[in-house]
Amino acid sequence: MKTSTLNLGVLLPLLFLPATVEACAANAIVAQETVDGLILKGRARLDAGDAAGAQILFDQAAQMEPGTLRTRTWVIRAWMDQGRVNDAYNAIDELAKSNKGVELDYLYGMAFATDAKRGIETGQAGPMTGEKIQDALNYLGTVAKSDAARFPDALAMLCWAAWESRNLDAGRAAAEQLERVAPQNPEGPYQVGRFALAQFQSGSSGEAPSDSAEQHWQAAKGAFERATKLLDGKSEPRARALLARVSIDTGHLHVWKKDLDAAVAQYGKGLGLDPTLANYPQMLSSLGQEKLLAALELGATDFVKHWGADNAADATLLWWLGWARLQQKQYETAETAFASSVKKFPSYTNCWFYVAVCRFSRQDQGGAVEAVKKHFELNAADLAAAIQQNPAYNLALLDSLVGFCAEKEPPRNLDAAVLSEAQALAKPDDVRYWNNAGLFYRDGGEPLGRSKDETKKKQALALFEKAYECYSNALELQPDDPSILNDTAVMLHYYLDRDLERAKELYKKANARAKELLDKGGLKPEMKTLYETALRDSGNNLKKLEAGIKTN
């Protein structure tokens, strides 16, 4: 056998060709491959969620091969993922004037689906949204039949459109096709599992699941397992988000079979990856309080491992963790969870009321008062709504805290006033709470009103106005109560020094009404004492008012 030898005489002249000639030759050889390569790389970026990066590559391909259907297809496709759907519609219409083929079905289908999807996600869905979804189903269905392997993202969007229109059979078929043409794409088996689970649920509406329903359950289980195998261990945010969906749906799957321990494990895994996906009330209904707590504990621990303790995406998870711990009387750790939740998401102001409940349950009345005050300061209406969730218990808790404040030496009148007003806002038809709030605001303002400091005097005046407002609300509920009539007049007479004619009429009415009730008789001892006091005080106050005396 002869050994080949290198002919340097031929090679050396080539080595010294001018650089420009060499570059031109190389460009001529690989130009066609470069366009293909740019499109391939651009599609990979598009699949990874980097539409802007994909756009750069597609634009480069279009510059190298201007005006062709294949390069224009991907330039327009990248526009859609960057919000330029209207531009995409116009460009597709223009492209359709001189071109035909599956690319146009692909572009129209993706444009309609993207437009409808964005409208739903942003809360701007309109009367045309349903038509857009149907158009997407039609166009993308054509792509699925003619060239699915070329456009796997069309299959994924076809699954979305089928899900939105509750076309389970079409969605399942598209999902299975996606898994066949892109076996390494976890979206395929996830969608198979999702549709199979929905088909199982649809077939399980009767007393006993049908045979086909059981087949759907097994298909869903296998599909979710395949998706999990493809996703486990990946750290990319998109992969984690999809694995979270797979895990939570697998949890739903196990709930249907009443395998709650398996459901807890899957829910916990999903929550740790993306706690924003969970339907917490649904999980509570499915698992019960104790199992829900177990899932939340797993999720909270895993979330910190995946994303770090400072990431705020678990604020809702922490709220529910606090609530679940509170139900199990784990007061200290419940408070920790609520405090972390509101720190990460300050709009969760009702955390402060639950912090108060936790502290009260540990006999920390002072801390409970501070937490209620914080909630009142941030959002009094939200505090009232929180109290209304369990009014019997919560109003009694606040009664106890009001007593705690009133019995202090000196009394914590302003704190008691806030607590009483919170009760009044939660139960505005209860005169007692408005009357108490008026009393405590008045008494809390008195020390400030006696001060020589003008700033404190202004603060006192604001408190007196608040007291008058509360007494007036009480009077609206019980306009003939002699005690409330007298106390409302007192605010105008001694504290606000205005509307004195109204104060005079209120005193007169209080006096007459007290006398009427006492003359009628049959009163309980405590009410008899109350009305006797109202009779005496209203008479004395009226005399002072008529004499021009404004000090009590």
Looking at this protein, which amino acid is placed at residue 390? N
Per-residue pLDDT at 174 exceeds 90? yes
Predicted pLDDT of residue 341? 99
pTM of the model: 0.86
283 within a domain of the structure (yes/no):
no
551 within a domain of the structure (yes/no):
yes
| CA nearest neighbour of 155 among 125, 175, 185, 133 | 175
Give 265's Cβ-side CA count (13 Å radius): 4
Supply the angle between the helices 211-231 and 237-256 in degrees, to the nearest 10: 150
Cβ within 8 Å of residue 464, ≥6 positions away: 441, 442, 445, 449, 491, 495, 496
Structure token pair of residue 229: 């195998």
Cβ within 8 Å of residue 163, ≥6 positions away: 171, 194, 195
| CA nearest neighbour of 158 among 96, 88, 84, 105 | 105
502 within a domain of the structure (yes/no):
yes
Structure token pair of residue 37: 């390569």
Supply the angle between the helices 482-490 and 431-449 in degrees, to the nearest 10: 30
Q: Which residue has the tokens 């599956």?
A: 102
**For 454-500, what is each residue's pLDDT tens digit?**
999 999 999 999 999 999 999 999 999 999 999 999 999 999 999 99
Structure token pair of residue 237: 């945010």
The range of the structural domain enclosing residue 513 comes to 492-552
Predicted pLDDT of residue 211? 78
Q: Is 245 exposed, middle or buried (0-12, 13-18, 19+ CB in 10 A)?
A: buried
Torsion 221-227-232-237 (CA) sign:
negative
CB 175 within 8 A of CB 151: no
Per-residue pLDDT at 189 exceeds 70? yes
DSSP string, 162-178: HHHTT-HHHHHHHHHHH
CB 390 within 8 A of CB 353: no
Residue 203: band (very low, low, confident or very high) from pLDDT cuts 50, 70, 90: confident
Predicted pLDDT of residue 159? 98
Supply the angle between the helices 331-344 and 315-327 in degrees, to the nearest 10: 160
**Could you give the CA distance from residue 148 to residue 106 in angstroms, rounded to a whole number?**
10
Residue 446 CA, distance from chain mean position:
44
Residue 16: band (very low, low, confident or very high) from pLDDT cuts 50, 70, 90: very low
**For 297-318, what is each residue's pLDDT tens digit?**
999 999 999 999 999 999 999 9
Q: Is 27 exposed, middle or buried (0-12, 13-18, 19+ CB in 10 A)?
A: exposed
546 within a domain of the structure (yes/no):
yes
526 within a domain of the structure (yes/no):
yes
**Could you give the CA distance from residue 479 to residue 118 in angstroms, rounded to a whole number?**
56
**For 21-57, what is each residue's pLDDT tens digit?**
344 444 444 445 699 999 999 999 999 999 999 999 9
Structure token pair of residue 454: 């003008």
129 within a domain of the structure (yes/no):
no
Structure token pair of residue 381: 């209406």
Domain count, the chain: 1
Predicted pLDDT of residue 330? 99
**Could you give the CA distance from residue 111 to residue 244 in angstroms, rounded to a whole number?**
27
381 within a domain of the structure (yes/no):
no
Looking at residue 97, what DSSP letter applies? T
Per-residue pLDDT at 296 exceeds 50? yes
Predicted pLDDT of residue 18? 41
| CA nearest neighbour of 155 among 169, 130, 137 | 137
**Could you give the CA distance from residue 389 to residue 353 in angstroms, rounded to a whole number?**
11
CA-only gyration radius of the chain, Å: 37
Residue 204: band (very low, low, confident or very high) from pLDDT cuts 50, 70, 90: confident
Q: Which residue has the tokens 């009044």?
A: 424
88 within a domain of the structure (yes/no):
no
